Amino acid sequence: MSLTFSKRTALVTGAGRGIGKAIAETLARQGVMVVCVSKNEATCGAVAEGIRAAGGAAKAWAVDVADGAAVAQACERILAEFPVIDILVNNAGITRDGLLMRMSDADWHSVIETNLSSCFFWTRGLCRPMTRQRWGRIVNITSVSGVMGNAGQANYSAAKAGMIGLTKTLAREFASRSITVNAVAPGFIKTDMTAEFSTKPEIAAKILEVVPLKRFGEASEIAAAVEFLCCEEASYVTGQVFAVDGGMAM
């Protein structure tokens, strides 16, 4: 099936690498203008430049997504340039793993603020024009850790589970304005974040014991799920969590 995308503008956080980069590039291939956001100006700039070189439309915006004031200022400036952000993909995320008894306050707060609070900041800052035009797509990239829990990831699992609760609540709040809000929950995907796992045979083998499909996923497979949720044909899908995890959370 060919997916339909009208002339839309998207903003993708954490777009400088990994899953965010794949999502930005996939949407750009559908003719979507993509605002690539990350804390690192060089990485999001390189992704935007690559999209433009391939014939797409993109702009880079360096913002610390955990800083509510910085995000509010960025949203104001972005909406001054683009009348509406039609598609918002909250993908930015970090890990600071460790057992609860040894986890510092700083490691707890940094993960909650970057992974969960950032979704609140960006959605609040960009939702009003969406509601006025009565069309929008919001996709939050959560994790299988937020669905099942994972030892050593109390902060990360809590943040990702919080994203699921936020997704379901916003789906109800925005439904009357024809704005859909969904979540995609990746399993173990080949990215910089999981490089340590996927490149060490003994660790990879242990992980794959709990993955029915017996392989790591690709960032492009997450991007494909996001692509569908952002298209015109997905207009009746909202408040859902789509696991793209090789069967882990069955």
Q: What span, in angstroms and rounded, lies between the C-alpha atoms of 61 and 44? A: 7
What burial letters (b/e) apply to 75-106, b meaning 16+ CB within 10 Å?
Answer: beebeeebebbbbbbbbbbbbbeeeeeebeee
In the residue annotation, 236 being an active-site residue is answered as no
Radius of gyration of the chain measured on its C-alpha atoms: 17
Closest CA to 226 of 168, 185, 175: 185
183: its two tokens: 């979540």
State the catalytic residue, choosing from 156, 174, 188, 216: 156
Alpha helices in 175-212 (DSSP H): 195-198, 201-208
Do residues 114 and 65 touch, judged by C-beta distance below 8 A? yes
Q: Would you say 125 and 70 are in contact if contact means Cβ atoms under 8 Å apart?
A: no
Tokens of 143: 């994790």
The one-letter code for the residue type at 58 is A
**Distances in whole angstroms, Cα of residue 185 to Cα of each of 11, 133, 167:** 19, 28, 12
Residues tagged active-site: 156
